Homo-oligomer: A and B are copies of this chain.
Amino acid sequence: MNDVVKRSNGALNNVGLKNTELKKAGLKATLPRLKILELMENSEGRHMSAEDIYKKLLELGEDVGLATVYRVMTQFEAVNLVSRHHFDSGLSVFELNEGSHHDHLVCEKCGKVEEFVEESIERTQHKIAKKFGFKMTDHSLYIYGICPACQEESSRT
C-alpha cells in the first residue's frame, strides 16, 4: 500500500512532499496536519482564523476537531510553518509562512488584508529596541483603514 495516491486527482498531489515538510520540522505526518497544510496552501484568503480553517475542513468532508486545529496551529507556529496575528478583532489569524516577513494593512469595513514590506521600518524598529536595551524577538505592525472598494461603496450613498 502506498500513501501517495495515483495522480489522477490534483487535490491529492504532493502528499509526499508535505509529508517530508512535516518530518523535516520534527512533526509526525498525521492526516489532520497534512490536510491543514494542504488547505492553507490552496485557499483564497491567506489569513484565516482557526474557525475558518475548521469550517473549510468540514466542507471538504474531513473529520478534524476544532481543538486539533488550534493545537496544530500552535505547533506549526512553533516550527515556523505559520505566523499568528492579532488583528483588532481580537481573535487569532494564521497564515502560511511562504514568502518572507511582511506587515499588514487591514480594512476595518470588509476585513480585506494587504501585505507590504518596508525595510526602513524594519531597520528603525531594531534601532529602537537597541536604544531601550531590549533583545528584540518579534514585532507586529498593523495599519488599519478603509480599502478603496469600501470607500467607493460609502461614497455612492
Contact = CB atoms under 8 A, between A and B. Distances in A.
Interface stretch (A5-13, A24-32, A59-67, A120-128): A120-128
Contact of A137 (B86, B118, B145): B145
A141 B140 contact: yes
Given A90-B86, A120-B120, A108 B128 contact: no
Given A86-B86, A86-B88, A120-B124, A144 B133 contact: no
Interface stretch (A14-22, A41-49, A68-76, A146-154): A146-154
A146 B4 CA distance: 45
A131 B103 CA distance: 14
Interface size class of A (residues with CB under 8 A): 35 or more
A24 B146 CA distance: 29
A145 B140 contact: no
A105 interface: yes
A142 B145 contact: no
A27 to B, nearest CB: 23
Nearest to A154: B135
Contact of A139 (B118, B144, B147): B144
Interface in A80-112: 86, 88, 90, 92, 105, 107-108
21 contacts: A86-B90, A105-B134, A114-B132, A114-B134, A116-B131, A118-B124, A120-B124, A125-B143, A133-B147, A133-B151, A134-B147, A134-B148, A135-B145, A137-B144, A138-B143, A138-B145, A139-B141, A139-B142, A140-B140, A140-B144, A141-B142
